[in-house]
Structure 1
């Protein structure tokens, strides 16, 4: 397991580098095919490829879905040379060591263990994305994943695990979009009255947008990136901001888009116009009653095996579990290696949890 974990981490696969992601997808597809999986690669023109590997007859027999992704947020070339896979005092470091190459390693070895005992109760379908970290904004992976998951009896997402053993049953969705303002530049000393500040227009709209946050509905909106202007002595003719909305209820998405459009179209500074451009959309992982029952089984098995008593949580970060719950599949998420500080150079994973989570998942599969 350690060798595979290291190999996966040391194979760069930043979301922005399609060739790298596709290379890793092909490598993992080869591993799964070598284990007997009926494997196919799903190609996308402008995003990392995905793969599906079926163990058993997933068309005529009840099947379980294993979900994950092979891309990371680290797209700078040479990242693995600067920060190679390293273990210090029982903690592993490296690009994607937690998010989520540890989880992929677990999923593969769980399958190997099940095959070694001729497990046949359920077929297993592995679905691994190559563009999860960018919200599938340049691919149709979401629709593909829903179609592949439909009809599954259970789904397990090997996303990053929590150090306190929490397991995720619900995640907020994410809608991200850009808003640009187009004004008119003018020298602020000689003819300031001729300027039309794009920054000032967006400043008003920031307040309008963030006022839409409604914690009681599980809805929070933030303007988290902004840029504009060229020099200090000229009115800014252009400004841009990127907005992130997190939401629990899928029914809120379209009404909120309308509210954003109203804010976009409202004019505060005469002569300034604005334009909205969608960036990405990830639907929420909806908490299902059937997921709660599945969690209770996972909790029982964990306690019986001496791995502790996990708690069920809801979190704000999105994942591909949204696609399995969208088609009604009972799903538990964050079954991967435990750790923290995702998406940063300080990302870490607990080495012992690699083995613990694999043993837990094997026991869960045998108990289903």
Structure 2
């Protein structure tokens, strides 16, 4: 063997089996959003891995029952605007599902597990790519901050402030949410609104004094029709009354009912218009009161020239390794990338693993996507300037 060949054979390579091993270590540590201790066990794993690379770690304690937030910064992550890599470590799956309805397993190219697609695989990839840069003795042009939040699945109520703080210091934001529709990255997302409707009527005996009652449930039926009438698929506007609760007993005209409403819009203007309409809903029965609270939870992530330029750069990086990167036109789901794009920072989302079944008992990634996505991350981190 020639000296050149020996040197080449000793050069560290991106190994998909090694990537999967790291991902599965995180998947094994189940981390439903509302289980602070479980989420913190994953946060400790993240902290340890980045400490092992020599990055400066800032661990912010969670509050309101949520887990801790991890920031890992490269040595040059001071002053100059750099790259924010944005991930979350919480999942929607309860503890124990990995041993029951969603067993961790590999079937050919498909690897199953709770939160593996959304989004522990994606959250692990940039760590692996940065470690590979270090193993090769290479550095990034820009400072990098890796941010791992703990409650994205419920709207990032605690971490939003930190996300926006870090985004203001960034030149680019790369979000590790899962790829869409066969590996596509995300350049725009709908904005998300959340509202609570409280209806108060007048109780009465459903048999003896029905005429004296004013049913909150009947009024809710009227309101649901009004909310459904706001749906406009051509504009990309959807509304959904997803949860309702109320009533006292089957033989009592209901006094109280509560409904939770979801809104999705493509533009800031539509968000303002639909928010006003939902907050302005009035009771159709004059003897019943309707109170609506809430607003936009995440602003729309609208495609911009800057984000499309960032996509073109990622596409070129992926092409070096034979990965043909495409972008979605839009997706209905929100992410923390909505916050950063809403601040005008060039944002590219959906950079995680390819797969399917997010939030379901068929959640999986495709093993074949790990190596090319890791190589794309490697080149993105190395070449952005």
- Please report the TM-score for the alignment, with normalisation by the length of structure 1: 0.92
Structure 1 residue 282 displacement after superposition: 1.7
Distance 1:343 1:203, change over 3 A: same
Match status 1:124 vs 2:144: yes
Match of 1:350 in 2: 366
Q: 2:292 aligns with which of 263, 269, 276?
A: 276
Q: Secondary structure at the match of 2:33?
A: coil
Deviation string 1:114-157 (CA, Å, 9 cap, x unpaired) is 222321312211011100000023x2x21221111214222211
Deviation string 1:86-132 (CA, Å, 9 cap, x unpaired) is 11112111110100000111111011012223213122110111000
Deviation string 1:262-310 (CA, Å, 9 cap, x unpaired) is 21xx232243223334387122222121110111122223233211242
- Alpha-carbon separation, structure 2, partners of 1:290 and 1:312: 16
Structure 1 residue 254 displacement after superposition: 4.2
Match of 2:267 in 1: 249
Match of 1:182 in 2: 200
Structure 1 residue 64 displacement after superposition: 1.1
- Alpha-carbon separation, structure 1, partners of 2:241 and 2:265: 15
Q: Secondary structure at the match of 1:56?
A: coil
- Alpha-carbon separation, structure 2, partners of 1:287 and 1:151: 20
Q: Is the 8 A contact 2:140 2:383 kept in 1?
A: no
Structure 1 residue 313 displacement after superposition: 2.6
Match status 1:339 vs 2:358: no
Q: 2:36 aligns with which of 9, 18, 28?
A: 18
Distance 1:44 1:252, change over 3 A: farther
Match status 1:267 vs 2:250: no
- Alpha-carbon separation, structure 2, partners of 1:279 and 1:220: 14
Match of 1:97 in 2: 116
Match of 1:73 in 2: 92
Q: Which runs of 5+ in 2 are unaligned?
A: 1-18
Match status 1:298 vs 2:314: yes
Distance 1:206 1:295, change over 3 A: same
Q: Is the 8 A contact 1:13 1:24 kept in 2?
A: yes
Match of 1:52 in 2: 71
Deviation string 1:173-226 (CA, Å, 9 cap, x unpaired) is 111122121222222222110111101111111122222234454322221222
Match of 1:213 in 2: 231
Deviation string 1:45-88 (CA, Å, 9 cap, x unpaired) is 112221111013222334211111000011x3322332342111
Q: Secondary structure at the match of 1:171?
A: coil
Match status 1:61 vs 2:80: yes
- Please report the TM-score for the alignment, with normalisation by the length of structure 2: 0.88
Q: Is the 8 A contact 1:104 1:158 kept in 2?
A: yes
- Alpha-carbon separation, structure 1, partners of 2:81 and 2:135: 20
Task: Say how many residue pairs are matched.
Answer: 363
